[in-house]
């Protein structure tokens, strides 16, 4: 019971967000320049319906070139390691791990969810920002983008109901290093 309470406290603390891969989410407090796309409010189920953005397309206001490939393909090695699981990649431990076979989501549905969450300004009370200025490739800005992507990924279908960071190791690496890369970890 103490372990469960500790986990709840850890998850609800203002400075740490638990990630199943063992890599901590680094929260960054960037400035909100005119190129930073942010909103207000909270969204709970961004992945359940497409964005109603009037800017068109699945990506709406999010610049897709600033979102790396996941690094893992959906349904990779289904049932090879464990029945009902597929291969993901934990970048922190440099190891193949089990993930749900439905992860990662399609790129279009992920971009729509990210757009919706960024427009709302938060996911499950977690404030997120995404700077759309492609010329800003600073480590701090890329870490902030990666945090928005990971929080969206992990809450695609509601609070904690999404895909683990191991289904998008490029996001986790970007959050740690601040460098945008689209490496293939599992084929």
Please write the tens of the pLDDT for every residue from 71-112: 999 999 999 999 999 999 999 999 999 999 999 999 999 999
For residue 124, list its beta bridge partners: none
Cis bond upstream, residue 104 (ω within 30): yes
For residue 131, list its beta bridge partners: 36
- C-alpha to C-alpha distance for 83 and 140, rounded to whole angstroms: 39
Please report the pLDDT score of residue 60 as a whole number: 55
Q: How many other C-beta atoms are found inside a 10 Å radius of the C-beta of residue 13? A: 10
85-90 and 95-100: which strand pairing? antiparallel
The full set of domain ranges for the chain reads 2-177
CA 103 to chain centre: 12
Tokens of 137: 């490739």
pLDDT in tens, 33-85: 333 333 433 333 343 333 322 223 334 589 999 999 999 999 999 999 999 99
Hunting for tokens 């490029």 — which residue is that?
A: 170
Please report the pLDDT score of residue 186 as a whole number: 85
**Mean pLDDT lowest among 15-29, 97-111, 117-131, 161-175:** 15-29
């Amino acid at each position: 019971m103490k372990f469960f309470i500790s986990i709840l406290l850890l998850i609800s603390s203002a400075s740490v967000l638990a990630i199943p891969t063992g890599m901590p989410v680094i929260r960054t407090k960037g400035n909100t320049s005119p190129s930073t796309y942010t909103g207000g409010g909270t969204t709970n189920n961004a992945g359940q319906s497409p964005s109603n953005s009037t800017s068109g397309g699945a990506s709406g206001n999010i610049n897709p070139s600033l979102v790396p490939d996941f690094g893992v393909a959906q349904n990779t090695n289904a049932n090879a390691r464990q029945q009902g699981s597929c291969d993901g990649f934990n970048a922190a431990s440099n190891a193949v791990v089990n993930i749900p076979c439905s992860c990662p989501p399609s790129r279009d549905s992920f971009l729509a969810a990210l757009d919706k969450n960024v427009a709302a300004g938060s996911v499950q009370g977690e404030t997120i920002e995404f700077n759309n200025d492609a010329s800003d490739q600073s480590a701090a800005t890329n870490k902030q983008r990666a945090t928005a992507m990971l929080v969206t990924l992990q809450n695609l279908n509601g609070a904690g109901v999404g895909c683990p960071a191991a289904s998008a190791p490029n996001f986790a690496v970007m959050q740690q290093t601040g460098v945008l890369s689209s490496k293939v970890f599992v084929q």
